Amino acid sequence: MWTVSTLGGSKPFSYNPERGLSSNENYCHLAAGDSWGIFAFLCAALWNLPAIPALNSTDEVGAGQSIQKTYDLTRYLEHQLRTLAGTYLNYLGPPFNEPDFNPPRMTRAEMVPSATVDFELWRSLNDNARLAANYRAYTHLLCYLRSMDGQVAKAELRKNLGHFCTSLQGLVVSIASVMSSLGYPLPSPLGSANPTWAQGPGATSPHNDFLKKMDDFWLLKELQTWLWRSAKDFNRLKKKVPPAALMLRLEMRGF
C-alpha cells in the first residue's frame, strides 16, 4: 500500500498489474501539477528494484578490452596507410610509384626493423615476446616516419603524415597498455632511433637523394607488413583473453 500526496490531500492506493493504480474508492487520479507525488512514487519504485552489477563500468576496463581497442587501431592504421603510401610513392615519383617496383633491401635500410620473420618462428614466440617486438618496432618506425614528415615539401602530404604519426603514437601507447594489463614489463628500446640519413633536403646529393627515397620506400613497406601481422597477433590474442564483462560474469557464477 502506497500513499501519494495530491492537491486534495493524501490518498492510499495499491498497484495491480491488470488494473493499474487504485484507491479504496476508485482509481487514484494524480493532478497534473502534482510533480512531487509522481517523483515520490518513482523514487520508491526505483529503490525497490534489485541491484544489478555494472558489467560495463569504465572502472572494469581489462586486458580483453585493451586488446580489442589495439586490434581495431591496427586495422584502422592499415586502411590509413594504404591511402598514405600511394600518395607518398607518387610524391617520390618513378620508379617508386610503379606497381612492379620491388628492389632488394639495401644495407642502409637494415636500421628499419624488419617484419620478414619466418611465420612459424613468429608463431612459436610467446605472447610477451611478440608484444615486445611489436612495441619496439613501432617505437622505432615512428621516429623514422617523423623524420620523413619534416622533409616533405607538399603541405597536404605533410599534414597526412602528421596525422598518421599521431595515430601510430596511439598504437604504441595502446600496446603498452595491453602489456601492462597482462603483467608484462615494457621492453628496452632498440638503441638509437634517430635515422642517420635524416638531414636537411639541401644537404643531399642526387645520389644520396635516391638512397633516401629507397629508405622511405622500405619504411612504408615494413609498416604495411608490421600492421598486417600485428592485426593477426591481436586478433589471436583477443580470442585467448576474454573481455572484462565476460570475466566478471564467470566470477559471479563461481567459475
User: Could you tell me if 82 and 171 lie in one domain?
Assistant: yes
- Judge if 43 and 77 occupy the same domain: no
pLDDT tens-digit profile of 114-157?
A: 776 677 888 888 999 999 999 999 998 998 898 887 678 788 99
Eight-state DSSP code of residue 253? T
Instruction: Count helices and strands (H / E) in the chain.
Output: 7, 3
40 and 92 part of one domain: no
Cβ neighbours for 251, distance < 8 A, ≥ 6 positions apart: none
In this structure, the answer to whether residues 137 and 185 fall within a common structural domain is: yes
Same domain (yes/no): 171, 71: yes
Structural domain boundaries enclosing 43: 2-47
Note whether 6 and 130 are same-domain residues.
no
- Tell whether 38 and 69 lie within a shared domain: no
Q: Are residues 65 and 191 in the same domain?
A: yes
Shared domain for 234 and 157, answered yes or no, is yes
Segment among 127-141, 205-219, 220-234, 236-250 with least mean pLDDT: 236-250
Does one domain contain both 17 and 119? no
Q: What is the mean pLDDT of the chain?
A: 74
Tell me: do 73 and 97 sit in the same domain.
Answer: yes
Count how many domains the chain has: 2
Nearby residues of 28 by Cβ (< 8 Å), 6 or more positions away? 4, 6, 11, 13, 21, 22
CATH of the domain at 212: 1.20.1250.10
pLDDT tens per residue across span 155-188: 899 999 999 999 999 999 999 999 999 999 998 8
129 and 33 both lie in a single domain: no
Enumerate the β-bridge partners of residue 5: 10
Buried b (16+ CB within 10 A) or exposed e, 155-170: eebeebbeebbeebee
Residue 44 has pLDDT above 50, yes or no: yes
Q: What is the pLDDT of residue 244?
A: 53
Q: Identify whether 54 is part of a domain.
A: no
